[in-house]
Amino acid sequence: MIIGICGGSGSGKSKICEALEGLGAFIIDADKVAREVTGGLLGELTAAFGVGILNPDGTLNRARLAKIVFNDSRKLSKLNQITHPKITGEIKNIVRQNSDKPYIIIDAAVLIESELWEICALTVAVCAPREIRTLRITARDNISRERALSRINAQPDDEYYINNCDLVIYNDNGNDILNSAKRILESFNHASFDY
């Protein structure tokens, strides 16, 4: 019932999830959950990273925080220590509330690190060439190539996802996204009897 989708920034996880949603799956976007949860963690976040991460209205400036943590692995680790337990807990709550759905997809770049993979019957790595990922990130987030590359460099490489997942989908602009989504559901249906 639960399928985890992971991969680095710009790999195309969201496009795969859109196709899965079109096939009837319920999607949990970990980034959206994170945005909701981090609003309640502003005290801890400012204690760790300073008030400079806040907008004038007191809300979190995600771009400023990203710039700090994606250039320093220790700071990224600290951010994850603060946020992952709350985000993971909220995702598990959403899964429980939607347990009647035939397929629940958890779209999470940090599926492995947050240990959300443990509740998944199937884990899927979405991979794409580095240059394609860079172009996607710069276009999507309207940031420089250098910032996109620093984001990519702060994350595990494709081999990490490949070695830790049950299925690999290559999303290099040449693949048919809908067929890739169907392949994921077919793989899940064939594997589900093992769980």
Q: What is the pLDDT of residue 39?
A: 87
Instruction: State the DSSP code for 119.
Output: G
Contact 127, 167 (CB under 8 A): no
CA distance 21 to 157: 27
CA distance 92 to 17: 18
CATH homologous superfamily of domain 2-194? P-loop containing nucleotide triphosphate hydrolases (3.40.50.300)
Q: What is the pLDDT of residue 194?
A: 40
CA distance 73 to 86: 20
Residue segments in the chain with a per-residue pLDDT below the cut of 50: 192-195
- Angstrom CA distances, 192 to 2, 15, 34, 103, 185, stand at 10, 24, 29, 11, 10
Domain boundaries, the chain: 2-194
Q: What is the pLDDT of residue 185?
A: 92
pLDDT in tens, 90-130: 999 999 999 999 999 999 988 998 889 999 999 999 999 99
Q: What is the pLDDT of residue 195?
A: 36
Q: Which of 119, 108, 121 is nearest to 161 (CA)?
A: 108
Residues in the chain: 195
Residues paired with 168 in a beta bridge: 125
Q: What is the pLDDT of residue 191?
A: 58
For residue 61, count other CB atoms closer than 10 A to its CB.
13
For residue 75, count other CB atoms closer than 10 A to its CB.
16
**Structure-block tokens of residue 73:** 């692995």
